[in-house]
Amino acid sequence: MRPGPARRPPCHGNCSMTRVSRVGSVRYTRQMIAEAVHASTSMAGVLRHLGLRPTGGAHAHLRRRIDALGIDTSHFLGMGHRRGLPSRNRRTADQILVVRPVAAKREAGHLLRRAPAEGGRQRNATNGPFVMVDDAGEPITPAVVVPPLDLAARETVIGQVIRGELGASAAGRRLGCSRHHVCKLIKRRKERGTLAARPRRGPLSEADRRAVVTFALEHPEMGDRGIAKALTGADRRHARDDRTAVGEGRLPEQGFAGAAADAALSGRP
């Protein structure tokens, strides 16, 4: 008769102190797991403390064993594992207070306020503004900022481009704009004869406002553009300028109230 497998003797009393947990080929007692838990702030730290790889099986097994043994894990931080610690990307004062090129982006204000205090220098508003210096400590003269050209100077530059005396790229460098914007200025000069912006129209009077609302209520089938086209006599996109539009009757000189009356009398849709 073949002998059967040896049976483990029954455990009387509290066996939690002698029970072991097996992960792979290594056994961990309650004391070893408790020490790892108390020395860590996360399950990943427990695995590192026990010398285990952070795999899903070991993580789940130890999590179940910790819950079964009743070990307190209230000090675990979870996703806030770096709570109270400085950021790993935090730059030091030596990395912030450096000489930067003239055309470089300005450093953030809160970093400039924090860096002197970290470097051991008290920040005082009476110290005056910061001065850019070179490696030898000599102040660097800032680049001279060229003021923008006035309207007459811009008219002269665009006139040179139209006559072929100057290229669009060179004109853009003089005006401080792109080549595409120079082409838009040339088109404005040819259409309107000047580069000055059009004057803004003032707000509608109360009579014009009531006329527009009345015309819109009488023609509910018309949209916004249709109502504007009926009141002004033509699409604004085809208006060459305000003076020509008024002369041709496309922009009402007497206001929207008169345009609404003319539209009602003429039966325009």
Please indicate, yes or no, whether residues 262 and 211 belong to a single structural domain of this protein: yes
> How many CB atoms lie under 10 A from the CB of residue 11?
10
What is the count of structural domains for the chain? 4
Lowest-pLDDT range, 59-68, 79-88, 147-156, 177-186? 79-88
Residue 84 lies in a domain: no
Average pLDDT over residues 57-66: 88
Q: Report yes or no on whether pTM surpasses 0.75.
A: no
Q: What is the pLDDT of residues 131-175, one digit of tens each?
A: 666 667 677 776 666 678 888 999 999 999 999 998 998 898 888
Burial class (CB in 10 A: 0-12, 13-18, 19+), 112: middle
Answer yes or no: do 165 and 214 share one domain: no
Whether residue 56 is contained in a domain is answered as: yes
Q: Rounded CA gap, 62 and 52, in Å?
A: 11
Q: Is residue 201 part of a domain?
A: no
Range of the domain at 225: 206-266
In terms of domains, do 185 and 210 share one?
no
Name, in order, each residue with C-beta under 8 angstroms of 229's C-beta and a sequence gap of 6 or more. Answer: 235
The predicted structure's pLDDT at residue 8? 54
Q: pLDDT, tens digit, for every residue of 181-237? A: 999 999 999 988 888 887 777 787 888 888 888 888 988 888 888 888 888 764 444
Query: In terms of domains, do 186 and 227 share one?
Result: no
Check: CB of residue 40 under 8 Å from CB of residue 5: no
Task: Look at residue 79 and tell me if it is in a domain.
Answer: no
Q: How many CB atoms lie within 10 A of CB 245?
A: 19
How far apart are the C-alpha atoms of 189 and 191, rounded to whole Å? 6
- pLDDT (mean) for 5-18: 49
Question: Helix (H, G, I), strand (E, B), or coil: what is residue 27?
Answer: strand
Q: Domain check: are 30 and 54 in the same one?
A: yes
143 falls within a domain: no
Q: Is residue 130 part of a domain?
A: no
Mean pLDDT of 105-126: 75
Instruction: With respect to residue 15, please indicate whether it lies within any of the assigned structural domains.
Output: no
State whether 222 and 245 are in the same domain: yes
Residue 255 included in any domain? yes
- Higher-confidence residue of 245 and 177: namely 177
